[in-house]
Amino acid sequence: MKPGLALFTSLAALSPATAQAQSGEAAASALFDTLLDSPPALRVFLKAMPKGGDLHNHLGGTPYAEDYLRWAAKADLCADEGGTAIVAPPCPDDRRLKHLGERSPFAFGTLIDAMSTRGLQRGVGANDASGHTQFFSSFERFGPETPETEVGSMIVAWQVAAGDRVAYVELTHNPAALIAATLGAADRPLDATTLAAFYDRTMRDAKPIIDRAIAELDANEAVARKAMACDSAKPDPGCRVAIRYLAWGWRDLPPAQAFTSLILAFALADRDPRYVGINIVQPEDWVIALRDYDLHMAMIRFLGERYPRVHRTLHAGELAFGLVPPAALRDHIAKALDAGAERIGHGTAIAYEEDATGTLQRMARDHVGVEINLSSNDIILGVKGDAHPLRLYRQMGVPVMLSTDDQGILRTDMTNEYLRAAREQGLSYADLKQMARTSLEQAFVAGDSLWANGQIGTPVTACTTIAAPACRALIRRSAKAALQLQLEEEYKIFEDVTVPSMTKMAKP
């Protein structure tokens, strides 16, 4: 839906000081409050609620295990002997995935539990593996790539976002060309003093790799758009979701390969406008990731100086007390800020930082937001409820937004993250609405904001009246402002039309 001008003429009335006086928002807040002790009714409400952006979403972890198994079955792949992973043929007929679901539903269910955290969340194997182990081992069980895997994952991501009323998604995704080049890089000595020479050597061969990566994304997006009929008279709702990408580097590879991955990620993001930034992935507590944390931050600082247009969001502080030695908890978030992080992914260990107060104040001052992943932090790290730092971030004025992380493996979606935020973190309707707005303010979308000086809800002077020529000019030239206005229009419809239709769910 393109932002229009017919729904309302002024944004001034949406300022935080007067928001509760608006009858639509007040009615939505009142209904929300009555539904808090009824999770099914609250989910109905939250499913329909506009949610802005999902800024922390790994494409490979977005499809459910059932999606991967469906694609594997079409490619005639197999279950391994233990029945816990997808493998290439040959195999006996009773392990061919095209037959497994029909012939042995229990074996099929075992595969789903192995390829996700579904079983573990219900106690299956809880004594054998931690959530951390189960989650990260799931990726190893997806098996060989099939012709449909990447395109199918894109379609799932778009469709799930649309169904969840998410308008914008930043997908963490590397084309196969980047992955192959990283894993094929020679392992050679590397430290902070030799980064420049290594970078120069790597860049000599980088252009054809980036060319292949762009061509691959072009082809996959074209197939996905065709499958969703995006250019037809009846496009799939997923076609309306604005999709951008984050290229990623690896943090648990030897230094030369890790730096290669970051060089290629920055180079791709600098060249292809669909890539709005970079990230660094893999478990922060693994051996190489801990050992080389400072080196990785030096790599990112180095590349940031060479690619100043490339945004940086960094997984940092995705740790928990007892998971790692105390020294590993002291400063990872602060060091990520020093490396130029404009957003922090997870940030669960903030309370254990040596200068937590100073780091929080710095984040609030510099508008460095935190991508909050409640289900992920609960399942992988065991951090939830009062132990989660979401309230601390909010109290200190740090921008926060909800995201899904790897929603397929975690068996969650954005609506469930909003539900958890309401019931477990005590967030109100107004809080959730503010977080949705924050997600678009923090998004790496080109253009000026609709809001003045980062004060969400206070419009820039040009848009005190939306119909004003200066405001319409801003919306035309700024993708960010256009998305923000779209969200405001969606809230107008939700609060004035959808919420009144739900009042029967309220307690008498």
Give tens-digit pLDDT for 220-263. Answer: 999 999 999 999 999 999 999 999 999 999 999 999 999 999 99
Structure tokens at 222: 């074209």
Q: Mean pLDDT lowest for which of 17-26, 266-275, 456-465?
A: 17-26
Residue ranges of alpha helices (H) inside 76-235 are: 97-103, 105-114, 118-121, 131-138, 149-163, 176-183, 195-204, 206-227
Helix (H) or strand (E) holding 459, with range, is: none
Task: Say if CB 111 and CB 87 are below 8 A apart.
Answer: no
Cα distances (angstroms) measured from residue 337 to each of 251, 258, 366, 438: 17, 20, 10, 19
Band of the pLDDT at 11, cuts 50, 70, 90?
A: low
Structure tokens at 131: 């959530």
| Across 494-498, average pLDDT | 96
Give tens-digit pLDDT for 104-148. Answer: 999 999 999 999 999 898 887 766 789 999 999 999 999 998 989
The rounded distance, in Å, linking the Cα atoms of 454 and 60 is 32
Of 489, 499, 500, 488, the C-alpha closest to 15 is 488
How many residues make up the chain in this entry? 508
| Complete domains list, the chain, with CATH | 1-44+426-508 (no CATH), 66-141 (no CATH), 149-425 (3.20.20.140)
- Report the pLDDT value the prediction gives residue 122, as an integer from 0 to 100: 85
Q: Within 10 A of 184 (CB to CB), how many other CB atoms are there?
A: 10
Give tens-digit pLDDT for 70-86. Answer: 999 999 999 999 999 99
pTM of the model: 0.94
- Report the pLDDT value the prediction gives residue 245, as an integer from 0 to 100: 98
DSSP assignment of 17-86: TTGGGSHHHHHHHHHHHHHTT-HHHHHHHHHHS---EEEEEEGGGSS-HHHHHHHHHHTT-EE-TTSSSE
Burial of 223 (0-12, 13-18, 19+ CB in 10 A): middle
